Amino acid sequence: MSKIAVVTGASRGLGAALAEALAKDHHVIAMARTSGGLEELDDRIQGAGGSATLVPVDLTDSDACAAVCRSIQQRWGRVDLWAHTAVHVAPLAPVAHHDPGDLAKSLATNVTATARLIACVAPLLEVAEDGKAIFFDDARAGEQFFSVYGATKAAQISLARCWAAETARTGPRVMILSPPPMPTATRARFFPGEDTGALTSPDAAARSILAAIG
């Protein structure tokens, strides 16, 4: 049976690149809100001879995510690797002028949904021979104008670090990596007009990440 990889936030950027790279030796369960991006990803994966299951889902919908996990358990019985790249990117703003709606959405996506996903995916990773979960730290906590994104992303990484400490002896392996700067939509919102020539492509970053985790 093929190894099973779940990629949350798989429709674009690093998530899509990881899904494509993983599809060479995993069946990829690609989760994201954007159906069009998932379909384009599936075309690329199939064109390279891989296979994927597309799951258009809002990760803040806890019932829908729980149903996905139940379906994975019933069909495959486990998850070998989970890469969590989904994130809500609030616009840059001073702390005193943040938008309450952006804060609420960032908390729901970056913190609450992550905590619920950990609870949902953990049992599937625990039964794998070498289950792994990967999170990506680019919180920019404390940098000016990154208040909402920085705070909620830092909270997400704190959840991951706690989980890593709790499972250090028992598994699954929980890893927090810092990807290089990439020309993604997220970075473009933070640094509009930036010269992207010196940035690392998501495909190259994905290959490096997967080589590093073994």
pLDDT value of residue 54: 98
pLDDT digits (tens, 9 = 90+) for 94-110: 999 999 999 999 999 99
Residue with tokens 């000016």: 144
Task: Please compute the mean of the pLDDT values over residues 26-36 and round it to a whole number.
Answer: 96
Residue 197 has pLDDT above 70, yes or no: yes
Pair 111, 159: CB distance under 8 Å: yes
- What local confidence, expressed as pLDDT, does residue 141 receive? 72
Domains in the chain: ranges and CATH: 3-213 (3.40.50.720)
Encode pLDDT of 135-158 as tens digits.
Answer: 999 867 778 999 999 999 999 999
Residues in the chain: 214
Mean pLDDT, the chain, whole residue set: 95
